[in-house]
Amino acid sequence: MSELADHAVFLDFDGTLVDIAERPDAIRVAPGLPDLLTALSSRAGGAVAVVTGRTVADVDRYLRPALLDICGLHGLERRVGGTLSRPEGLADLSSEVAALRAAFSRRPGVLVEDKTVGVALHWRLAPEAEDEAKAAMAALAGKLGPGYRLQDGKAVRELVPAASGKGGAIRALMERPPYRGRIPVFVGDDRTDEHGFEAVNALGGVSVKIGPCPTAATRRLPGTASFRDWLRLWEAGGASVENLPAA
């Protein structure tokens, strides 16, 4: 029996399944990745989910025709077993998004990403704007109050509802079939994935960090290409999570 039959697999998207791009809409999906994820999910009895800051619809757009369970918006938006759910009562941030765009309209390379229930400010193309971008997001967080929190990633600061979090999304899926009773595996690359690593570690699972930097993860691979290569081997029964290098 494949090792996958005993595991519940949770995968970050940007920086894990696909390389990070200068803009969120400029990513490229490696040939064969959707088919690989479909085969992986089949071997794992459906216990495979993408856990990401993107929306469910955005991930679907890149991974068609694969139809996976997805926890989007850092777990706020979930499609599990084909059923999509989102919490009610979240604030409309359209005016805040518009204000940020106006404030950075003369800053080429700074991108304001509207996530409807949250907003992200990217400065990968304008590293000199980092301090200004962080200060603007901190001011917005102060305005919105304790119902929201800031989280930093690679050249991005994001404002999200306080109830969101990849660790909580993973724990919630682990309480329902087909995930329940399995060993969780979570693979991610960024600071926003650390709570997911901590949750999986607490559940006795395997946490895998992609790339350098200190981490709570117990295992590590150097990059997205090496992870995709390993994932193909794992799906085919030629690799084991227990044999991954220690972090």
CATH class of residue range 3-87+164-243 = alpha beta
Q: What is the DSSP string of 137-205?
A: HHHHHHHH-TTEEEEEETTEEEEEETT--HHHHHHHHTTSTTTTTSEEEEEE-SGGGHHHHHHHHHTT-
The pLDDT score that the predictor gives to residue 87 is 76
Instruction: Taking the CA atoms of 45, 7, 201 and 60 in sequence, report the sign of the dihedral they define.
Output: negative
The pLDDT score that the predictor gives to residue 162 is 85
- CATH fold of 94-161 reads Alpha-Beta Plaits (3.30.70)
Which residues make Cβ contacts (< 8 Å) with residue 196, sequence separation at least 6? Answer: 10, 12, 51, 166, 167, 169, 170, 186, 188, 207
The pLDDT score that the predictor gives to residue 166 is 96
Q: pLDDT tens digits, residue range 47-100? A: 999 999 999 999 999 999 999 999 999 998 999 999 999 877 677 889 999 999
Active site residues: 12
Average pLDDT of the chain is 94
Low-confidence ranges of the chain (pLDDT < 50): none
Q: pLDDT tens digits, residue range 76-86? A: 899 999 999 98
Which residues make Cβ contacts (< 8 Å) with residue 194, sequence separation at least 6? Answer: 215, 216
Quote the pTM value: 0.88
Phi then psi for residue 153, to 5 deg, are: -130, -155
Lookup: tokens for 50: 């993408």
The pLDDT score that the predictor gives to residue 2 is 74
- In the chain, which segments carry CATH 3.30.70.1020? 94-161
The pLDDT score that the predictor gives to residue 163 is 82
Query: Does residue 31 have a cis bond before it (omega within 30 degrees)?
Result: no
